[in-house]
């Protein structure tokens, strides 16, 4: 990954250990094990709603982050370009834009492109250049996939496989540029700052979508930079995550076997690729994903009997490299559903709630109550118990 990772980095020392709004920092400079905030809202009927309630919800958990990362993923955001691939790209400079657009033009027809609209925000400093492109893939017979060994069309070619390969190769090789969003009718907006400041910077209260996920970051094992903020995206997948993936090395080697390249130096990235591999490529039923990523312990499986025992043993054997260890809570967005999951012994907080057609998932109940005081149901999922909301239309 070659983009300048210091681009947009906040220097909290400038403010005498206070954030730019002159509020005393809630955390000193040491690792806070349960830092980070996640918040997601889905309208299961696919009805779009304004981003204000999501911004208010994640802002309610301001103390869980430290200004070194915030971001949002929004689905249904580009209805006028719903059939086009929507790329959001970060740039270091104008040269990187020129080089990138030459690469894009070799494989895609550009329907429309523009600099992503932003507004000056006092707490956001030194942002990279940010553009969005709405693209159609050119004639596949003339479009070639470049990998380390050969130049030819992939076996089992699909547009999705092409986009995955294109993004992987681009992000690992291109200087000064990084694709952070590559789905259809969705977009990721993220950067260095508190999430409510990132929302102000991108004017997200002016957007509408039927599914929103958001994140406030407290970096523990990697630097805070614009590309390293959450959500992480590939195709229409987006992932926000609180915690640490202690199995990252094993998970990374597992997805590498299927052509995925981890280039962000952060553990969250691999979760996005696991979902693409398991759900899109391997067609694993969504109800079984938790039994792979947060699989029961072997001794628990051995106490079972019959088909259930056989199924769980098979999943652990086939997808052992996809078992995610360590404390985590995640929310995964896609065009068809929102999925949330805790680690199997619930070392990170997560609460879910429903109100009419809305499903909420959050690190704290207070954030949900902030935007929806009256709820039909509130529950705290057990470790390894998924929360799944499906888009009906």
Catalytic residue numbers read: 36
Q: For residue 233, what are the β-bridge partners?
A: 238
Distance CA 16, CA 23 (A): 10
Query: What is each CA distance from 21 to 14, 121, 254, 292, 360, in whole angstroms?
Result: 12, 11, 44, 43, 29
Q: Are the C-beta atoms of 235 and 164 separated by less than 8 Å?
A: yes
Strand partners, 109: 136
């Amino acid at each position: 990954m070659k983009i300048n990772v210091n681009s947009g980095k906040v220097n909290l020392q400038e403010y005498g250990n206070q954030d730019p709004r002159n509020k005393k920092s809630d955390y000193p400079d040491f690792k806070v094990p349960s830092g980070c905030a996640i918040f997601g809202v889905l309208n299961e009927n696919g009805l779009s709603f304004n981003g204000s309630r999501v911004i208010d919800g994640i802002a309610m958990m301001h103390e869980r982050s430290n200004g070194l990362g915030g971001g949002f993923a929004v689905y249904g955001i580009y209805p006028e370009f719903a059939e086009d691939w929507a790329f959001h790209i970060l740039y270091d400079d104008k040269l990187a834009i020129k080089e990138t657009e030459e690469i894009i033009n070799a494989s895609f027809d550009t329907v429309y492109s523009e600099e992503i609209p932003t507004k000056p925000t006092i707490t956001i400093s030194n942002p990279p250049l940010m553009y969005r492109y709405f693209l159609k893939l050119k004639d596949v017979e003339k479009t070639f996939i470049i990998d380390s060994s050969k130049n030819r069309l992939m076996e089992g070619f699909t547009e999705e496989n092409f986009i995955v390969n294109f993004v992987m190769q681009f992000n690992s090789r291109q200087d000064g540029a990084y694709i952070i969003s590559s789905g259809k009718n969705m977009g990721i907006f993220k950067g260095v700052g508190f999430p409510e400041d990132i929302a102000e910077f991108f004017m997200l209260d002016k957007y509408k979508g039927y599914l929103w996920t958001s994140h406030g970051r407290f970096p523990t094992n990697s630097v805070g930079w614009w590309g390293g903020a959450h959500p992480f995206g590939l195709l229409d997948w987006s992932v926000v995550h609180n915690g640490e993936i202690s199995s990252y090395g094993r998970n990374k080697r597992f997805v590498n076997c299927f052509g995925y390249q981890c280039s962000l130096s952060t553990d969250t990235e691999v979760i996005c690729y696991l979902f693409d591999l398991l759900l899109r490529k391997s067609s694993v039923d969504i109800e079984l994903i938790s039994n792979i990523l947060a699989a029961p312990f072997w001794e628990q499986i051995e106490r079972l009997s019959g088909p259930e025992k056989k199924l769980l043993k098979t999943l652990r054997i086939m997808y052992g490299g996809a078992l995610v260890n360590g404390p985590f809570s995640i929310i995964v967005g896609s065009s068809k559903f929102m999925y949330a999951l805790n680690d199997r012994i619930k070392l990170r907080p997560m609460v879910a709630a429903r109100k009419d057609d809305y499903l909420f998932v959050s690190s704290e109940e207070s954030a949900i109550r902030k935007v929806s005081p009256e709820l039909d149901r509130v529950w705290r999922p057990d470790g390894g118990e998924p929360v799944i909301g499906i888009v009906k239309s």
